[in-house]
A and B are shown apart, each in its own frame.
Chain A
């Protein structure tokens, strides 16, 4: 999970060579039609370093989107060209990418991967009035800065809490819950949105408490929860590992058997390692993988096509590849509907994007540029530690 949390975690990479990025620039010049100028999309992701698996997968997806748009005639004759920049998951280098996009006069930007880079970079692109669509940065602040050029197709951390509340209330049908958090920005955010949404639905948050993530013994808090009467029906935890794994293990050790739900910061191998057998059957909210979106009876047709084509060329895509593909498509769609590649027109086109059916479902931007279609699924931990997609809020609301 360390990578899914990368929007929140700064990878401690040494800031060495920005030059490397230039080498990664993908040149489509051979296929560019002589007629009109290209539509250049700056693409900034971690292409080297510990988060490169994600960045490179996203790069494949972005290139795939560009070549498909070009095959279909480009944007009113303008060929799409990707200008890739390696952020190395390091804010200083990522911000330099934004500067280079400004000096290259790109038409739009897809990026950045890490929220810690997206937020400062969005300021630079805002000044230059360049449209920006992020495919992976989930920190709420990104779209709360009042920048009208900034959009994101992925979800936001706080929305995650709301999806958990929906699931608890409507699917598990519980009414009395406890919400715990690790007192850090992310965990507190998820837990408090969970609590607010759960109350709005008509449920009761019996206790809402922060636990000290440094202390590994949570038995006294859990004992207290256990003795609440009438009994609590679900425990929610906003935070990270190892706290989540320890919490569920100690809860089960005390004989607390109620459902347990946690978040994107928790999903991953460490959860099962710390919590062991106790984690089996617990629920985790997390954004969907391209594979999840193409599976089952709620499968999205565009996601199926995307996955097939991607697998044929590059193998299995990582989590945000579908979003990266979609980000390029949404930008191209905006330019097409406005019949212009001028920055202000593209921004206007993006702002007017509603009910766009893409690879990850429906894209519907609200006034601040967030995709209002919930981008989270509920997973259930399986014996052996795997996670299985268990509930899709979108599938339910549509039917």
Chain B
């Protein structure tokens, strides 16, 4: 493999990986707070992508042609709506089972995942939907690397959102409450933190991040399918575990790692081996570091 190909594969992997990282953020935040793998995240990601198509197309009809404001408005609306949906998911599928054995909310989150995907399929049909193309497909040459302008924007947008979330958890008062709830829910409640509200907020933020990932994905590839949540959800879950579940920067690191690994995997072996290789490396990493790449620093878990 030439140096040029090596750099190109890394760039490809980083672009895909940034989207995985954004979805993984939802898994990892919820896990940090309530110790639950919220499988509905894959569904929220998909719903966000579909809401994105809807509003994006709508804005085109009202004559808003400028790509960047249109993407931003779409992002805000769809993230809000998907966040609201995540709030409902928490109320319906998690809160009633708060004191049930751990497996119960896990299964009900799986149920929510399938429900969301089925609803999308029923509403839109099984045919793929397409995002209006916003930017010229003319490739950009960055030294030896060639990338489409869209994928470059996707990458930076995803990183920006993840860093923003990290700063939110670390620096704001609400973020502090989230960290407190993650560290010890009873103690946090005793300190006057409304932990129920914090749990809700975590679901909402996670869902919103999933929606953002869905839209960025849609804008980049131009096509969304009713089963995209299965593949995306699974890969992002892997990314969250690889990075260290419960750890916010871990989601980013995990996402990028999985992206680059699968990009390399298909260089050396036929494309179909992609997932097998990613999971083999996941097992390897977990064997050496059971807590994932960044581990879980209890104090910062959120």
Taking beta carbons and an 8 Å cutoff, which residues of A are in contact with B?
A: 2, 183, 209-212, 214-217, 219-221, 223-224, 226-227, 241-242, 245-246, 249-250, 252-255, 270, 273-278
Decide yes or no whether B118 CB sits under 8 A from chain A.
Answer: no
Cα–Cα distance between A250 and B15 once the two chains are bound (Å)? 13
Known contacts A211-B271, A212-B271, A273-B130; is A220 also within 8 Å of B263 by CB? yes
Chain A residues within 8 Å of B271, by CB: 209-212, 215, 220-221
Bound-state CA distance A277–B148 (Å) is 13
Whole-angstrom distance from the CB of A84 to the nearest CB of chain B?
A: 30
23 contacts between A and B (CB under 8 A): A209-B270, A210-B271, A210-B272, A212-B271, A212-B272, A212-B274, A215-B271, A216-B221, A217-B16, A219-B15, A220-B9, A220-B13, A220-B271, A221-B266, A223-B9, A223-B12, A245-B222, A245-B223, A253-B137, A254-B8, A255-B141, A273-B130, A278-B137
In the bound assembly, the distance between CA atoms of A210 and B130 in angstroms comes to: 24
Q: A212-B272, A214-B227, A255-B141 are in contact. Are A220 and B130 (CB under 8 A)?
A: no
Interchain CB contact under 8 A, A223 and B137: no
B277 to chain A, nearest CB (A): 12
Given the known A-B contacts A220-B13, A220-B263, A223-B8, are A249 and B137 also in contact in the complex, defined by CB atoms under 8 Å?
yes
Contact with A along B7-36 (1 / 0, CB 8 A): 011001101100000000000000000000
Knowing A212-B272, A215-B274 are in contact, say whether A224-B267 is a contact too (CB < 8 A).
yes
Q: Across the interface, do A214 and B263 meet the contact criterion of CB distance under 8 Å?
A: no
Known: A210-B271, A212-B272, A215-B274. A224 touches B5 (CB 8 A): yes
The B214-231 residues at the A interface (CB cut-off 8 A) are: 217, 221-223, 225, 227-228, 231
Contact partners of B228 in chain A: CB under 8 A: 216
Q: A274, B12: Cβ atoms under 8 Å?
A: no
Partner of A215, one of B1, B150, B231, B270: B231
Is B195 an interface position by the 8 A CB rule?
no
| Residue in A closest to B141 when the chains form the complex, CB atoms | A255
B147 touching A224, Cβ below 8 Å: no
From B2, B139, B222, A252 is in contact (CB under 8 Å) with B139
Which residues of chain B come closer than 8 Å to A255, judged between CB atoms? 139, 141, 146
Confirm or deny: B151 has a beta carbon within 8 angstroms of a beta carbon on chain A: yes
- B290 contacts the other chain (Cβ, under 8 Å)? no
* Residues of chain B with a CB closer than 8 A to A226's CB: 5, 8
Given contacts A210-B270, A220-B262, A274-B128, whether A253 and B223 have CB atoms under 8 Å apart is: no
CA distance A245 to B137 in the complex (A): 13
A249 and B266: CB pair below 8 A? no
Q: Judge whether B124 is part of the interface by a CB distance below 8 angstroms.
A: no
How far does the alpha carbon of A2 sit from the alpha carbon of B262 in the complex, in Å? 32
Q: Given A219-B12, A227-B4, A246-B222, list of 10 further CB < 8 A pairs? A: A211-B271, A214-B231, A219-B263, A220-B263, A223-B12, A246-B221, A249-B221, A253-B147, A274-B128, A277-B133
Contact across chains for A227 and B141 when beta carbons are under 8 A apart:
no
Nearest neighbor of A275 in chain B, beta-carbon distance: B222
Instruction: Report the 8 A-B pairs with minimum CB-CB distance, sorted nearest first.
Output: A253-B148, A219-B12, A227-B5, A273-B130, A255-B146, A220-B263, A220-B266, A255-B139
